[in-house]
Structure 1
Amino acid sequence: MSPLEMALLVHRGEFHLRELEPELPLEKFLKNADPKKTRKFLEKCGKEELERQKELIRKHNVKLVSFWEDDYPQHLREIRYPPAVLFVRGDAELLKEKCVGVVGTRRPTSYGVNVTKRFVKLLSEYFVIVSGMAFGIDSVAHKEALSSGGKTVAVLGTGVDVVYPRSNERLFHEIVKNGCVVSEYPMGTRARKHHFPARNRIIAGLSDAIIVTEAPIKSGALITVKFALESGRDVFAVPGDIDRKTSEGTNYLIKSGAYPLTDEEDLETHFGIRRIASPSLDDDKKKIYDLLRSSPKTVDELVEELGWSVSEVLRVISEMELMGMIWFDGGAYRLLG
C-alpha cells in the first residue's frame, strides 16, 4: 500500500495503525479486513477521491512519510498513538532534528507575549520550535523563531493545504518557506473541534520538551502537557500572577511538578547550552542592563538608582527598546532575552 492509501484507510475507513498491513496491495488488504470498516472506506474513498488526493499532493508539493519508513521521526514513533502517515509541506528534515514545543493560550496578555518571545529567541538558536499555529502564544512562538533566524514546525488540525485560522495565511506561507507544516489529515481536511486535541499529541511527540508560557486551567496547552508527560517529555511552565486567569494553568503545572521557568539560565542549565554573547553596550546602557538583571524597574526607580534626569533615562531606555533588549509591561521595564 502507498502512504496515501494508508492515510485514507485511517481517516476514511477508521482503521487503526495496528490493523494496517503496508506490505499488501490495497485490494488484497480490503478482502480480509473488517467488513464494516471496508464498507465505510469504499463509500467515502473511491477512485475519484484517490485521484483528487494525488493531484492536491502534487499541486502543493507535499511529502508523505509513513510510520514504517526510516524518515519517520523516531520521537514520534514512541508515543502511545503515533499517526500512521504524516503529510509534510516544507523541509521534512526538520522533523528529525532536536525540537522544543512552545504552547499556550489563544488570548495572551502582553506578559505572555513577551516571555514567549524572550525564551523562543534563545531556544531557536539551538532547537526547532514546534507549535500549533493557533492564535496567541502559538503564533507568537512561530513568528519569533522565524524573526530570530531559526526554524519552526507548525502541526495542523487540518490538511496541509488548508490555512486555519485564515488570518494566519501569511504566517502559514512563511513557515512552509522557512520551516515546515505537518498534519496527519488527508488533503482538503477542514478544521473540526476534535482534530486539535489529537494534533496536540503530535506536538508533544515531536518535541524533546514542552514549554507553556501562559495558559488558563482549561486550555489545549494542558492537553499537550498530558501527552508530553505520557511520553516522558520534560515540561516547563512560566509562573504568572496568582489572580490572573491566564496564569492559572501554568501555576497549576508548577505545583504539579513542572519545571518553573523564570529566566534564560533555567534553559541553559537544563539543556546544557550557552548563549551567544550580547552585543557590546556603552556605559549608560550597561548600567541600566545591570539594574534590570536584578528586577524590573519603573522609570522613577531608574532615575533614583542612577541619579540621572528623567530625560536621560528615557533616552537610553528608548534606544534599548529599539535594540530589542527590554520591554515595558505592568508599569516597569524588563529585560528581553
Structure 2
Amino acid sequence: MTPDHALLILARAKLPESFLRRLLDHHRCPSQALAAAMHGAGMALPDGCLAALRRPDARLLDGDTAWLGRPRHRLLGWQDPDYPALLRRGPNPPAVLFLVGEPALLWTAQIAIVGSRRPSAGGREHARRFARAFANAGWTVTSGLAEGIDTAAHEAALANGHTVAVIGTGPDVAYPACNASLMARIGSEGSVVSEHPPGTDALAAHFPSRNRIIAGLSLGTVVVEAAQRSGALITARLASDAGREVFALPGSIDNPMARGCHRLIREGAALVEEPAEVVAALAPLAASLADALRGRLAERSAGTIPRSGPGQPRDDPDHNRLWSALGHDPTSMDSLAERTGLTVAALSSMLLVMELEGHVVNDHGRYARRP
C-alpha cells in the first residue's frame, strides 16, 4: 500500500483531528500510522472509525485515488514537509488537506478577505479594490468562495495576482454551484483547499470549520461587510484567537451589513480605510514567511536559493536560465517552459520566490522582470 493510499484511508475514517495529527507526527509514514491506528494506537476509537480503517470502502478509495491522479491534485498530510507552515500554528489545524493547485502558494504571505454573502454594491467594490491592491503588492488573497464579498475578492485577485479558495465541500464540489467556473479557474491559476475528501457535499457544519483554515493560513483577516451574526465574524474571532491581525472596514450606521464590522472595531480590530494600511501592518510578518518559503523550495529543488538583488546572478543554473528567459514584456508560462526547458511545476515555484523578492511581476499569469 502506498503512503497516499494509507493517508486517504486515514482521512476517510473520521478520526479526531488531534489524534490523527499526533499519529502522523509520531510515525511520519502514513502506512505506519495506518497500521497503528488499525490497532487503536493506544486510544479507544469508536467502532465506526476502526471499521473504516480496517475495511475501507473500495468504491470511495478508488474514487479518491482517481481524483489524486489528476494534474495539480495533491494530498497534504500533517507529516508532509509541504504542509503550510503558518497553518500548523493556527486554530485546530486539519491533519489532511486536499489541494488543487500549487502547494507552494500556501506558503506565501496571505491576507484573508471575508464578508457578507449579500453585500451592498459599495461593499462589493471595496472587496475588489482591497483584493486588487493586495495582489498587485505581491500578497496572496485568501477567501472562502462564497457568494458576495468572497467572490469579488477572488475575482479581483485572479486578475492581478494569486488567490487561495478554502472550501467547505470536497475539492471536486463547487458551492455555490454558480461559482463552479471560478473554482476551476482558481484551481488552474491558484489553489483550492479542502479538509474534506472528494464528493463531500455542502453541510452547514462544514463552513464554520472551514473558517479556521482561512484564519490559519493568513497573516491577517480583513472583514469588509458583516452582519451581527456572520461567518465572517467567526473567521475574525478565530484569527484573533490565533494571534493574527484583524482589520475591519467601517460603514454607514444605516447599513446592517456594517454592524458586524463596527462590533469588531469596538472589540479591538484595526479600523482601516485603505489597503496600504493593512500591507504596512503585516509587512514585517510577511518577510519571515518569505524566508520560510525560500527554504522549503530550496529543499524541494535540492539546491539552495539564496537572496539576491534584482538581476544578480545566483549559483543555481535553473534560476539563471529563468532570469535570462524573462524580459520586460509579460511572458506566458508556456513560453518560459519552452525557452528554459524547465517544467511548469519548477517554474511556478521559482517565480513565486521571485515575486516575493520583488524581482518579478505577474500580469494575468504572464511574467516579466519588475521595472
- Normalising by structure 2, we get a TM-score of 0.69
Aligned to 1:326: none
| 1:94-133 alignment runs, 5 A limit | 94-125=105-136, 126-133=138-145
Tell whether the 8 Å contact from 2:10 to 2:34 is kept in structure 1 after alignment.
Answer: no
Distance 2:257 2:175 in 1: 23
Do the aligned partners of residues 194 and 4 (structure 1) sit closer, same or farther apart at CA in structure 2, a change above 3 Å counting? farther
Cα gap change, 1:87 to 1:212, in 2 (>3 Å): same
In the TM superposition, residue 95 of structure 1 has moved relative to its aligned partner by: 0.1
Instruction: Give the counterpart of 2:194 among 180, 183, 192.
Output: 183
Give, in whole Å, the separation in 1 of the partners of 2:5 and 2:92.
19
The residue number in structure 1 matching 2:150 is: 138
Residue aligning to 2:348: none
Q: Which residue of 2 aligns with 1:79?
A: 90
Separation in structure 2 between the aligned mates of residue 13 and residue 271 of structure 1, nearest angstrom = 36
Contact 1:210 1:228 in 2 (8 A): yes
What amino acid does structure 1 have at the position aligned with 2:18? L
Supply the AA of the counterpart residue of 2:225. Answer: E
With over 3 angstroms needed to count, the CA separation of the structure-2 counterparts of 1:272 and 1:58, relative to structure 1, is: closer
Partner of 2:355: none
What is the CA distance between 1:53 and its match in structure 2?
1.2
Contact 1:3 1:65 in 2 (8 A): no
Residues of 1 paired with 2:241 and 2:55: CA distance? Answer: 34
Task: Tell me the distance in 2 between the aligned counterparts of 1:59 and 1:127.
Answer: 28
Q: Distance in 2 between matches of 1:192 and 1:142?
A: 22
- Measure the CA separation in 2 of the matches of 1:66 and 1:272: 29
Q: Aligned partners of 1:159 and 1:86: how far apart in 2?
A: 10
How much has 1:3 moved relative to structure 2? 4.9
Q: Which residue identity does 2:38 align to in structure 1?
A: L
Q: Residue 220 of structure 1: which of 197, 213, 231 is its match?
A: 231
Deviation at 1:139, TM superposition (A): 0.3
1:154 match: 165
C-alpha distance in 2, partners of 1:5/1:117? 41
Report the CA distance shift for 1:44/1:109 in structure 2 as closer, same or farther (over 3 A): farther
Superposed structure 1 runs of 4+ greater than 4 Å apart: none
Q: Which amino acid aligns with 1:234?
A: E
Which sits farther off after the overlay, 44-53 or 89-98? 44-53
Superposed displacement of residue 60, structure 1:
5.9
Identify the range of structure 1 (41-50 vs 63-72) with the bigger mean alpha-carbon deviation: 41-50
Contact 2:34 2:53 in 1 (8 A): no
Contact 1:9 / 1:15 at 8 angstroms: preserved in 2?
no
Deviation per residue, 1:9-33 (Å, 9 max, x gap): 3543333333453332524430234
Distance 1:21 1:266 in 2: 42
Aligned partner of 1:47 among 33, 58, 62: 58
* Structure 2: 5+ residue stretches without partners: 285-371
Q: 1:205 to 1:52 in 2, by over 3 A?
A: same
**CA 1:6–1:272: 2 relative to 1, 3 Å:** closer
2:118 partner SS:
coil
CA positional deviation for 1:121: 1.4
Q: What letter corresponds to residue 186 of structure 1 in structure 2?
A: P
| Map of 1:21 onto structure 2 | 23
The TM-score with structure 1 as length reference comes to: 0.75
The one-letter amino acid of 1:132's match is G
Change (3 A) 1:265 1:81: closer
2:9 and 2:56 in contact (8 A); partners too: yes
Whether the 8 Å contact between 2:212 and 2:238 is mirrored in structure 1 is yes
Secondary structure of 2:39's aligned partner: helix
What is the root-mean-square deviation of aligned Cα atoms in Å? 2.1
Return the alpha-carbon distance in structure 2 between the equivalents of residues 205 and 115 of structure 1.
Answer: 23
Do the aligned residues in 2 keep the contact of 1:8 with 1:186 (CA within 8 Å)?
no
Cα distance between partner residues in 2 of 1:51 and 1:80: 32
Distance in 2 of aligned mates of 1:71 and 1:32: 27
Corresponding residue SS for 1:211 = strand
Q: Identify which range, 39-48 or 177-186, moves more after superposition.
A: 39-48
Task: Tell me the secondary structure at the aligned position of residue 181 of structure 1.
Answer: strand
Secondary structure of the corresponding residue to residue 65 of structure 2? helix
Residue identity matched to 1:13: K
Q: Which moved more, 1:166-175 or 1:56-65?
A: 56-65
Bigger mean CA offset, 177-186 vs 11-20: 11-20
1:56 CA drift (Å): 2.0
**Where does residue 243 of structure 1 map in the other structure?**
254
CA–CA distance in structure 2, aligned partners of residues 241 and 26 of structure 1: 54
Please report how far the alpha carbon of residue 151 of structure 1 lies from its aligned counterpart in structure 2 after TM superposition: 0.4
1:207 CA displacement: 0.2
How many residues are aligned here? Answer: 272
* CA distance 1:15–1:252, change in 2 (3 Å): closer
Residue of structure 2 equivalent to 1:56: 67
Match of 1:210 in 2: 221
* Deviation string, structure 1 residues 84-138 (Cα, Å, up to 9, x no partner): 0111101221000100000000001011011111111111122000000000000
Preserved contact between residue 11 and residue 197 of structure 2 (Cα < 8 Å): no
C-alpha distance in 2 between matches for 1:151 and 1:123: 9
Structure 1 46/271 Cα, relative in aligned 2: closer, same or farther at 3 Å? Answer: closer
Gaps of 5+ in 1: 274-337
Indicate the SS of the match to 1:32.
coil
Verify the 8 A CA contact 2:8 2:64 in the aligned structure 1: no
**Residues of 1 paired with 2:168 and 2:33: CA distance?**
29
